[in-house]
Amino acid sequence: MNTEKLKKLQSQVRIGGKGTPRRKKKVVHVTAATDDKKLQSSLKKLSVNTIPGIEEVNMIKDDGTVIHFNNPKAQASLAANTFAITGHGENKQIAEMLPGILSQLGPEGLNQLKRLASSVAAPKPLDEDDEVPNLVGNFDEASKQEAKEVKTEDKEVDKKPEPETKADKKTD
Task: Tell me the DSSP string of 70-128.
Answer: ES-EEEEETTTTEEEEES-EEEEETTTTHHHHGGG--HHHHHHHHHHHHHHH-PPPS--
Residues paired with 57 in a beta bridge: 69
pLDDT, tens only, 154-165 = 666 555 555 666
Dist. CA 35–CA 86, nearest whole Å: 13
Task: Report if residue 168 sits inside a domain.
Answer: no
Q: Which residue from 46, 74, 42, 43 is spatially nearest to 58, judged by alpha carbons?
A: 74
Q: What is the mean pLDDT of residues 73-83?
A: 92
| Res. 76: pLDDT tops 90 | yes
Task: Report if residue 161 sits inside a domain.
Answer: no
Task: Report if residue 163 sits inside a domain.
Answer: no
- Using DSSP's 3-state secondary structure scheme, residue 46 falls into coil
- What's the domain count of the chain? 1
In contact, 56 and 68? CB cutoff 8 Å: yes
In contact, 88 and 69? CB cutoff 8 Å: yes
Task: Report if residue 108 sits inside a domain.
Answer: yes
pLDDT band at residue 143 using 50, 70 and 90 as cut-offs: confident
pTM higher than 0.95: no
What pLDDT, on the 0 to 100 scale, is given for residue 95? Answer: 75
Task: Report if residue 132 sits inside a domain.
Answer: no
Q: What is the mean pLDDT of residues 130-142?
A: 74
Task: Report if residue 80 sits inside a domain.
Answer: yes
What pLDDT, on the 0 to 100 scale, is given for residue 50? Answer: 92
The CATH number assigned to the domain holding 63 equals 2.20.70.30
What pLDDT, on the 0 to 100 scale, is given for residue 48? Answer: 92
| Res. 46: pLDDT tops 60 | yes
Q: Which residue from 35, 34, 23, 83 is spatially nearest to 59, judged by alpha carbons?
A: 83
Dist. CA 102–CA 104, nearest whole Å: 5
Q: Is 152 exposed, middle or buried (0-12, 13-18, 19+ CB in 10 A)?
A: exposed
Q: What average pLDDT does the chain have?
A: 77
Task: Report if residue 79 sits inside a domain.
Answer: yes
Lowest mean pLDDT among 24-33, 34-43, 52-61, 142-151: 24-33
The rounded percent of the chain whose pLDDT value lies above 70 is 68
Most trustworthy range by pLDDT among 20-29, 68-77, 126-135: 68-77
What pLDDT, on the 0 to 100 scale, is given for residue 124? Answer: 58
| Res. 32: pLDDT tops 60 | yes
Dist. CA 64–CA 52, nearest whole Å: 29
Residues spanned by the domain of 84:
47-114
